[in-house]
Amino acid sequence: MKICLIAVEIFAWGKHGGFGKATRLIGRELIRRGHQVFAVVPQRKGQRPVEQLDGITVLGFSPSRPWMAAALLRSCDAQIYHSCEPSLATALALRVMPHKRHMVTFRDPRDLRDWWLEFERPSLHYGQVLHNFLYEDNWWVQRAVRRMDAVYTTAHELIPKVRRMYRLATDPAFLPTPVAVPARVTKAQTPTVCYLARLDRRKQPELFFEMARQFPAVRFIAMGKSRDPRWEAELRRRYTGLPNVTFAGFQDPFVDGRHASLLEQSWVMVNTATREALPNAFLEAAAHGCAVLSEINTDGFAARFGFHVRDGDFASGLQWLLEDGRWRTQGEAGRRFVTEHFELDRAMEAHVTAYKRLLASVAAVAPSARPPRAAVVVLNRDKKAEALACVESVQRLTRQPLEVVVVDNASMDGSPDAITRAFPQVRLIRNPANLGASGGRNVGWRAAAARTRPEFILFLDDDAAPEPPSLGRLIDALQADPQAGIACGKAYTRSPSRTIMSAGIIVNRWTGAVHDRGAGRLDDGRYDRGGYVDACGGFAWLARREVLEALNGLDERFNPYGWEDVDFCLRAAARGWRVRYVPEAIVYHGGGKVGRKPVAAYERRKVCNYLLLLRRHTNLLQRFSCALCVPWRALLVMGRLIRQGHAAIIAEHWRGLWDGLRLLPDNHGGPS
């Protein structure tokens, strides 16, 4: 397999944290098992742009220009992109390589309270904490996590926290951190306590050294160094004079065996950090038979395999462990637990299995005893000729649907009778009133779901005409991608035009821009590559029935029409479903924005619904950003309308704006 590890750090070039240690160990073991491994990481001092580390090809980008990671991620062309902790690079990988498999492992998910604790006691300075927050926990990262093919945590206790923080549709799975477990350990003859972490302020190492004053008969060994040389110098000035304290400094476990030797000697490993998840140090210490003394008790680790400190009373905990050899009993229990669940080969097998499972979801879709059932829903409103042509194109589909449902929204042009005469096999539903785009489509898919229970439903406007292979190609794309719940093809203006109407929709929640890719362009091949988009145009799109049912269909607040399609796709994305663009599925659309004159009623409602869309799918900061950007774009639209002779439409825009502002306080909810 070809795997790209995306990490915030790797254990080298002066960066020696637990995240980086896990990343390097996973990469090294994958190399030993015959896989090709890349690692894309922020570049550190002394690190060249391309390095070889334990067989891993390490690609570095400037931390001040994180967007440069996109080109590196693309150059890897890996089968699997594994984020060892989510970051901006996770989102970039998903954007530039959408057709690949993506997974993320959470080692230490931080909510706002956790970030505040780090800000109170920064490892280096406040700017460093702010930079980490923006790089690792912005809206784009959260959105990318919801679109992952697989999400894992390294501790069971983190599963509900991650699901809540990232609004995931399902629970993440557990994926163990690999740890080397020695065959045997020999403990020191005299009581020995170790500290295994950076000597940073957030880790509170002074608590460890103060215990040395209270236990002069116990040997205290501090392994690690601080990112802040002045703080470390202060610690050494205070505590070097204590006869039972040894500053062992940084110990590199990838270079020599001194790191393991000191752990083997130690009876107890002390962790004094203000907050962490399940640190690598816990697992390494337990693997060497050390009892764990800590206020952190993720998965009950300290309580089960050492002593869980409360109210900062480390001294009482150490005293309890040293009495009657309790440290040995607790340490041996931890060693057995780590051997059973985190041992190197066992944990690496879990990683390889996770990778193979992802590739299997792409390589082949399990054969079914019957072809997937599909239905087509055509929405009509006073377009007799176009509706007849649309149904005719459906009859020519190479993969025939189980049922074709035409929903007529109270047409007055005789189209319902004409459709019944021309296509008696088609099911016609006559709505007594115009229920709008959302209402009409909801009537159609619910009727089809009640009668034939199709797995997939293709929605078509009355002026859309798909090419014969389109339905089959859309269904195949969704079957090959279990995370994709919606699909659309490449849309042209009326046949035989090659002017693109839409190659999927992109939404920028910071500027409020919503645009059809390629709209108005002559097709030059640039949109021939499939991938993920933010939304589909409502005139032609395929959805899984389970997605429609989960979201309770389209939101009829957007009636009669305008942005209901984008809203549906964004709500699906919030539930973890992706929207796939399938360029091989071709459809022609006679309506839409390209070549159409603005209609007053449509323009008024479109502006009103646009405000509802932004309110529903943006956070407070994004709304503030949109408030700055949208007026400028509105002025450009007004200028264009005036040049085109449609100045009267501007008044409808203002009316729509007023309607939207009045409705926003009550209509920002959704149907699901």
How far apart, in Å, are the Cα atoms of 415 and each of 384, 411, 625, 652?
4, 7, 46, 30
Burial class (CB in 10 A: 0-12, 13-18, 19+), 338: buried
pLDDT exceeds 90 at position 195: yes
**What is the per-residue pLDDT across 161-175, written as a single tens digit (0 to 9) for each?**
999 999 888 899 999
**CA-to-CA distance for 275 and 457, rounded, in angstroms?**
48
Q: How far is Cα 559 from Cα 594, in angstroms, rounded to an integer? A: 22
> What is the separation of C-alpha 159 from the centre of its chain, rounded to a whole number of angstroms?
15
What percentage of the chain carries pLDDT values higher than 90?
64
Confidence at residue 657, expressed as pLDDT on a 0 to 100 scale: 62
Task: Quick: pLDDT tens for 288-314.
Answer: 999 999 999 999 999 999 999 998 999
pLDDT for the residue numbered 641: 63
CA distance 504 to 535: 6
- Chain centroid to Cα 569, Å, comes to 16
Q: Which residues pair with 532 in a beta bridge?
A: 580
Q: Is the pLDDT of residue 593 over 60?
A: no
Closest CA to 457 of 470, 440, 444, 476: 444
Tell me 54's DSSP state: T
Residue 127: band (very low, low, confident or very high) from pLDDT cuts 50, 70, 90: confident
Give the span between the Cα atoms of 441 and 417, in whole angstroms: 20
Half-sphere exposure of 503 (CA within 13 A, CB side): 20
- Rounded to whole angstroms, what are the CA distances from 440 to 471, 606, 644? 21, 18, 33
Mean pLDDT of 144-159: 92
* Other CB atoms within 10 Å distance of the CB of residue 318: 25
Q: What average pLDDT does this structure show over 56-81? A: 92
Interacting residues of 286 by C-beta distance below 8 A, sequence separation 6+: 292, 301, 305, 331, 334, 335, 337, 338
Determine the average pLDDT of the residues in 128-135. Answer: 84
- Chain segment 334-352, per-residue pLDDT in tens: 999 999 999 999 999 999 9
What pLDDT score was predicted for residue 62? 93
pLDDT for residue 369: 46
Instruction: Using the predicted structure, report yes or no on whether residue 371 has a pLDDT greater than 90.
Output: no
Mean pLDDT computed over 540-549 = 94
With helix as H, strand as E and coil as C, how does 527-547 read? CCCCEEECECCCCEEEEEHHH
- In contact, 600 and 649? CB cutoff 8 Å: yes
- Residue 90 and residue 73: Cα distance in Å, rounded? 10
Structure confidence at residue 37 (pLDDT): 96
Which tokens is 568 given?
């549906």
Residues 283, 279: Cα–Cα separation, whole Å: 7
The answer, yes or no, to whether residue 591 has pLDDT greater than 70, is no
CA 264 to CA 468: how far, in whole Å? 69
- Local structure of 619: helix, strand or coil: coil
d(CA 318, CA 327): 9
> Residues 469, 398: contact at Cβ < 8 Å?
yes
Is residue 445 within 8 Å of 451, Cβ to Cβ? no
Higher pLDDT, 76 or 634: 76
Q: In the predicted model, is pLDDT for residue 594 greater than 50?
A: no
SS3 of residue 275 by DSSP: coil
CA distance 102 to 151: 9
Strands 484-492 and 500-502: antiparallel
The H-or-E segment that residue 464 falls in is strand 464-466
CA separation for the pair 27, 57 (Å, rounded) = 10
> Are the beta carbons of 272 and 200 closer than 8 angstroms?
no
- pLDDT at residue 316 tops 80: yes
Contact 334, 292 (CB under 8 A): yes
Report the amino acid identity of residue 163.
Answer: R
Q: Is-contact 609 556, C-beta < 8 A?
A: no
**The pLDDT value given to residue 14:** 84
pLDDT of residue 666: 45
Q: What span, in angstroms and rounded, lies between the C-alpha atoms of 399 and 376?
A: 11
Q: DSSP letters along 536-589, please?
A: --TTEEEEEHHHHHHTTSS-GGG-SSSSHHHHHHHHHHHTT-EEEEEEEEEEEE
pLDDT for residue 368 is more than 50: no
pTM above 0.85, yes or no: no
The mean of the pLDDT values for the chain is: 88
Instruction: For residue 487, report the phi and psi dihedrals to the nearest 5 degrees.
Output: -145, 150
Spatial contact of 274 and 289, defined as CB atoms under 8 Å apart: no
Q: Supply the DSSP string of 148-215, one letter for each residue.
A: -SEEEESSTTHHHHHHHHHT-SSPPEE-PPPB---S-----SS-EEEEES---GGG-HHHHHHHHHH-
Q: Concatenated DSSP letters for 335-396?
A: HHHHHHHTBHHHHHHHHHHHHHHHHHHHH-PPP-SSPPPEEEEEEESS-HHHHHHHHHHHHT
Residue written as tokens 């409103």? 381
Find the mean pLDDT for residues 509-514: 89
Alpha-carbon span 45 to 28, nearest angstrom: 22
Q: What are phi and psi of 541, to 5 degrees?
A: -160, 155
Question: Distance between CA atoms of 147 and 100, rounded to whole angstroms?
Answer: 12
Measured distance CA(194)–CA(354) in Å, rounded: 35
Indicate if the pLDDT at residue 183 is higher than 50.
yes
For residue 647, the model assigns a pLDDT of 61
569's tokens: 């796709």
Contact, 402 vs 452, CB < 8 A?
yes
The answer on pLDDT for 655 being more than 70 is: no
